[in-house]
Amino acid sequence: MSLLMVSNIIVMVFISVGVLFLAAGTIGFLRFPDFYSRMHATGKCDTLGIFLSCTGIALYTLQDGLSLANIQVSLKIMFIAVFWSLGGPTATHALLKSAFKAGILPWTKDGKSVIEWPPK
Amino acid sequence: MDKFFLTISLILSFLALICLYRAIFGPTVVDRVIGVGVVGTKTLIILLLIGFLYKRMDMFVDISLVYAILNFISVLIFSKYFVRKGVL
């Protein structure tokens, strides 16, 4: 078993687990009953899925040899991953806060609202 | 390895396609906004994989970076200006 094969298997595991998380987020996004629970599914699963997939792709870029151009491209891909793990939750939080201010109430099973909104 | 990347790209394209259902038929405006955002995040990974398939990673990584920044800013702007009281 050569070193290249081990590296290929590591890359495949990273990208496959990332795509698994993205698929779970998509299923939750389609199946959940409420806007808030849909955001709960996508906001976390997309962040972790993109982080794992970008890590796998950056590792695969370094396989061609440790030249300066390859390291630069790999650092850029890791910058995308870090940027999205900071920016994705921020965007989710901002959208959720403005939706709550606009007056969408959380879903409950019996249809009764949990809180009084808007406050009098 | 090319076959693996092609398979992953096809799976991600299918996931983006079924996310488009929520972006078109979503009950509220906020569902549509988050649907477009989810399609954008999947496109980001697809662009990186297409860079491997065309052997031009140095070009496609910049496109993917710009796509990530635009996606983030567009969701922020939608949440600030489109979602107001009375719109929904």
CB nearest to A98's CB, from B15, B19, B83: B83
CB nearest to A84's CB, from B15, B52, B68: B68
Neighboring chain A residues of B28 at a CB cutoff of 8 Å = 35, 99, 104
Cα B28 to Cα A35, A72, B12, B49: the distances in Å are 8, 42, 25, 33
Q: Do B75 and A91 touch (CB under 8 A)?
A: yes
Q: Would the pLDDT of A104 be above 80?
A: no
B9 close contact with A: CB closer than 8 A: no
Contact (Cβ atoms closer than 8 angstroms) between residue B38 and residue A46: yes
* pLDDT for res A119: 60
Every domain of chain B and the residues it spans: 2-79
Q: Do B19 and A22 touch (CB under 8 A)?
A: no
Every domain of chain A and the residues it spans: 3-102
The length of chain B is 88
Q: Which of B76, B58, B32 is closest to A29 using CA atoms?
A: B32
Q: Do A87 and B58 touch (CB under 8 A)?
A: no
CB nearest to A103's CB, from B37, B57, B85: B85
Neighboring chain B residues of A99 at a CB cutoff of 8 Å = 28, 30, 79, 83, 88
Q: Is A32 exposed, middle or buried (0-12, 13-18, 19+ CB in 10 A)?
A: middle
Residue-wise pLDDT tens digits, B5-47:
999 999 999 999 998 888 888 788 888 888 988 999 999 999 9
State both tokens at B16. 């983006």
Q: Would the pLDDT of A73 be above 80?
A: yes
Neighboring chain B residues of A91 at a CB cutoff of 8 Å = 37, 72, 75-76, 79
The mean pLDDT value for A48-66 works out to: 90
* pLDDT for res A96: 87
Residue-wise pLDDT tens digits, A12-47:
999 999 999 999 999 999 998 888 888 888 888 999
Neighboring chain B residues of A76 at a CB cutoff of 8 Å = 61-62, 65
Amino acid symbol at A45: C
Q: Do B57 and A104 touch (CB under 8 A)?
A: no
State both tokens at A103. 């007056």
Mutate to test the interface with A, among B3, B17, B22, B48 (most CBs of A within 10 A): B48
